[in-house]
Amino acid sequence: VAGQTTDVRKVLIIGIGAGNPDHLTLQAVKAIGATQVFFIIEKANAPELGALRDEMIDRHATPGEHRVVVIPEVARDRDPDDYERAVADWHEARARRLGDAIVAELADGETGAILVWGDPSLYDSTLRVLETVRRLGDTELDHEVIPGITSVQALAASHRIPLHGVGEPVLVTTGRRLVGGVQAPNTVVMLDGQEAFRAVDADGTTIHWGAYLGTDDEITVAGPLAEVADRITEVRAQARDEHGWIMDIYLLQGDG
Ligand SMILES: C[S@@+](CC[C@H](N)C(=O)[O-])C[C@H]1O[C@@H](n2cnc3c(N)ncnc32)[C@H](O)[C@@H]1O
């Protein structure tokens, strides 16, 4: 990680792991320590996650030499007629806000950072938003990615399993895409608000499910899908009521 550079604004995109504060790599700890301005895109829906992120900054940033800039999240239409268009518009609106904040708050030669849940390569828009900031053109930016532990790895670790049999492939996908059916013998499903596993042919399929992985509230359930699906639905509803939000992920394995 470069510390100070001159003349160019530097932004670090730091993967902070999937819920356990000890998921932070040494590289991430150093990067947080070298950051002067943290740009936080505020999400209202999961306050515990915001608290965890704030705690990481308190613990690893250099005292007295950093500040936090909060950028309000852009509202998003969750059920648009044109999904692709809506996502593109949302990215552009976020990019404008972030670009404006970088120009306003980060002096030349300073280092800024965006802390990203898990790793920025997996179902996260930060890198695309930064590309848009660059494309929109008003901000001279140098950026660097610090990798983090993903929720996929946290799931496998909590269940103490590999994701696949010897030499087999793994598909990582979303609940939305699973609706058409399981497409690979080992399928990891993220971003599933609809419990898409319920629509899967349960015959010969096992599931390893986990919620709030890495946190004190972690819950895991595993077994043949036909036997544990109802239990997952029950546990999930209860946990969601209790917390007001849920983040869960699962691995489906079967005959494909
Ligand atoms: C927007 S994606 C972000 C993924 C993240 N970049 C990563 O590397 O894991 C959010 C999804 O990640 C999964 N997820 C992230 N953290 C999790 C956790 N601690 N426990 C369970 N699932 C998690 C859930 O499927 C959730 O819907």
Q: Are 169 and 186 in contact (CB under 8 A)?
A: yes
What residue type is 91 in one-letter code? H
* 3-state SS, residue 220: strand
Integer Cα distance of 105 and 249 in angstroms? 36
Q: Is the CB of 211 under 6 A from ligand 1?
A: yes
Burial of 103 (0-12, 13-18, 19+ CB in 10 A): middle
pLDDT of residue 182: 84
Q: Is the CB of 249 under 6 A from ligand 1?
A: yes
Q: Which of 118-122, 139-143, 189-193 has the lowest mean pLDDT?
A: 139-143
* Gap from CA of 65 to ligand 1 centroid (Å): 31
Integer Cα distance of 1 and 99 in angstroms? 22
Mutate to test the pocket of ligand 1, among 249, 250, 251 (most ligand atoms within 8 A of CB): 249
Q: Which of 3-7, 20-24, 25-29, 189-193 has the lowest mean pLDDT?
A: 3-7
pLDDT of residue 220: 98
Q: Is the CB of 251 under 6 A from ligand 1?
A: no
Integer Cα distance of 205 and 168 in angstroms? 16
Integer Cα distance of 256 and 204 in angstroms? 9
Supply the residue whose CA is at minimum distance from atom 10 of ligand 1: 191
Q: Are 42 and 50 in contact (CB under 8 A)?
A: yes
pLDDT of residue 140: 76
pLDDT digits (tens, 9 = 90+) for 225-235: 999 999 999 99
Q: For the chain, how far is it from start to end, CA to CA, in angstroms?
A: 42
Integer Cα distance of 170 and 164 in angstroms? 7
Supply the residue whose CA is at minimum distance from atom 15 of ligand 1: 151
CA 108 to chain centre: 29
Q: What tokens were used for 54? A: 């704030």
pLDDT of residue 77: 78
Integer Cα distance of 126 and 17 in angstroms? 15
> Does 104 have pLDDT greater than 70?
yes
Q: Is the CB of 151 under 6 A from ligand 1?
A: yes
* Gap from CA of 118 to ligand 1 centroid (Å): 7
> Does 209 have pLDDT greater than 50?
yes
pLDDT of residue 16: 97
Integer Cα distance of 81 and 240 in angstroms? 27
Q: Is the CB of 172 under 6 A from ligand 1?
A: no
pTM for the model: 0.91
The residue length of the chain stands at: 256
